[in-house]
């Protein structure tokens, strides 16, 4: 699976699990789930896209960025708890054809009146060893 396909797979997985998790936490679902940066500032959007991809002599690394744009939402921490749980429980390396999840980094930006939104960013780093037979580039 290439990096773009991995981002789309992750977006689809989150779109299938997050609505129920958010509802059970009494939080509003995202208006859109998309595999590109947000296009409209005035909406709740969950965006998934490739942050980086690296091939070394013996390793492939794929970084995926998940951006939660929370328009007019002040309780970003409640969303963070649900999103992080979904990431940990549903976005294992096997989902995207990799061997390991090396890191999951979260960066939370609280509500800002200047943009009327809160933001939560998650960067997932997947790694796989390469061998002489690797051809999935």
Which of 101, 110, 127 lies closest to 68 in space, CA to CA? Answer: 110
Residue 134's contacts (CB-CB under 8 Å, 6 or more residues apart) are: 60
Residue 4 phi, psi (nearest 5): -65, -40
DSSP class of residue 12? H
pLDDT per residue of the chain (137 residues) written in tens, 0 to 9: 899 999 999 999 999 999 999 999 999 999 999 988 888 888 999 999 999 999 888 899 999 999 999 998 888 999 999 999 999 999 999 999 999 999 999 999 887 666 688 899 999 999 999 875 655 54
| Cα 18 from Cα 30, distance rounded (Å) | 9
Selecting from 3.40.50, 3.30.2000, 1.10.260, 3.60.15, what CATH number does the domain 3-129 have? 3.30.2000
**CB distance 117 to 70 below 8 Å:** yes
Q: In the chain, what are the domain boundaries?
A: 3-129
């Amino acid at each position: 699976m290439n990096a773009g396909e991995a981002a789309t797979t992750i977006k689809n997985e989150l779109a299938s699990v997050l609505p129920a998790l958010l509802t059970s936490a009494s939080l509003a679902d995202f208006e859109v789930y998309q595999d590109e940066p947000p296009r409209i500032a005035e909406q709740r959007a969950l965006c998934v896209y490739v942050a980086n991809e690296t091939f070394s002599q013996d390793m492939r690394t794929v970084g995926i960025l998940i951006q939660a744009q929370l328009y007019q939402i002040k309780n970003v921490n409640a969303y963070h708890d649900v999103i992080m749980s979904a990431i940990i429980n549903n976005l294992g390396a096997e989902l995207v054809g990799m061997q390991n999840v090396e890191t999951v980094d979260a960066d939370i930006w609280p509500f800002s009146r200047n943009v009327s939104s809160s933001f939560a960013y998650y960067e997932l780093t997947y790694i796989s060893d390469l061998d002489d037979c690797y051809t999935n580039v």
